Structure 1
Amino acid sequence: MNDRKVSDSDTIMTHRGLPQDANPAGNIHGGTILKHIDLAGAVAAMRHARGRTVVTASIDRMEFKAAVHVGELMVLKASVNMVSNTSMEVGVRVEAENLLTGEVRHAASAYLTFVAMDENRRPTAVPGLILETPEQHRRNREALMRREVRREERRREKLSQEGQTLARDEGVKELY
């Protein structure tokens, strides 16, 4: 399995916000934006994983920065930031473009983790990632830091659940 460059999987997708995508104020629903973020991220992950299906494992740091209005073009830019054995972090940036004036603004950003799956729907290895630019190296370092934060959160959650189970079991013993 050959390593792949970040640029090999970079993805740009567009979606024009239509009335059925909007709330009564004329803003595109956050859920609609999120759906397109997930699609763009999945395309970048599949381009990197080639030959494997990918599933969304998590979404980190979903930030809505500016409204997207009906008639505006959403430009979604997705890039693989980091890979591990079976998973990939993909960053997605959404820009809203007013097609009449040409104004472009940063509307939303998110980091998504995708897991590559084999034909039996089990996690499978993905190619390594070749970083070529200072920006790619920075994004990779930041992705590794987010991964460590997620691991620590999972560790704390597991300890909390174990503590709750132990407390519940001790409470049951006291009743008998």
Structure 2
Amino acid sequence: MNNTYKTVAASNITISELMLPSHTNFSGKIHGGYILSLLDQIAFACASKFSGNYCVTASVDTVDFLKPIEVGELVTMKASVNYVGNSSMIIGIRVESENIQTGVVKHCNSSYFTMVSKDKEGKNEKVPGLILSNLEEVRRFCNCLKQISLKKEKDRHEEVFNYSSIETLASLEKYNVLVELG
């Protein structure tokens, strides 16, 4: 049983990697899937560092690709624990790319991963509590509470919403779909 508390700063991880031509998609920009792979790695490292345990990805809650990343840019990812539950943590990750010739830095991506701490037998393991040391950390924690609440509301909606009602089917007419039920 873990009753300790750790600061957000104790979870901080930063990685930087030069983007190579082998990381590109068909349009010559850095492939989003490659960035997702790096995001998953840093989320794992951040959660494991904070919890002291092996961690698994429970969900990728948000990945907002804001700007494309070019070959030759230095990508830096900064991750920290924004929220802790009993065995879960929400990891916030900021992705920036820097043109190493000009020094211009752009914010390319913001992501949130829910990670779960596991013990040696693969069962959920309690994580340390989180010490919030400044108002920015409080803001991030509160935003996670809102995110969790919205996720629960969406799940409740899924359970009770009647997808087969006449009203629901009629309301779809204003969208770019054609409903042809067999």
2:51 alignment partner AA = A
Q: Distance in 1 between matches of 2:97 and 2:67?
A: 8
Q: Which has the higher helix share?
A: 1
CA distance in 2 between partners of 1:8 and 1:101 (Å): 32
Equivalent position of 1:147 in the other structure: 148
Q: What is the root-mean-square deviation of aligned Cα atoms in Å?
A: 1.4
TM-score, normalisation: structure 2: 0.84
- 1:11 positional shift: 0.8
CA distance in 2, matches of 1:149, 1:155: 10
* TM-score under structure 1 length normalisation: 0.87
Give the whole-Å Cα distance in 1 for the aligned partners of 2:45 and 2:28.
28
5+ residue gaps in structure 1?
165-176
Unaligned runs of 5+ in 2: 164-182
Q: Paired residue for 1:109?
A: 110
Aligned residues: 161
Q: CA deviation at 1:94?
A: 0.4
The letter for the 1-side match of 2:43 is G
Q: What is the Cα deviation at residue 61 of structure 1? A: 2.2
The runs of at least 4 aligned residues of structure 1 exceeding 3 Å deviation read: none
Distance 2:26 2:20 in 1: 12
Distance in structure 2 (CA, Å) of the matches to 1:13 and 1:155: 38
- Give the Cα–Cα distance (whole angstroms) in 1 for the partners of residues 18 and 100 of structure 2: 10
Residue aligning to 2:25: 23
Instruction: Say which SS state the counterpart of residue 140 (structure 2) adopts.
Output: helix
Correspondence list, 1:43-54, <5 A: 43-50=45-52, 52-54=53-55
Letter aligned with residue 66 of structure 1:
K
Q: Which amino acid aligns with 2:72?
A: G
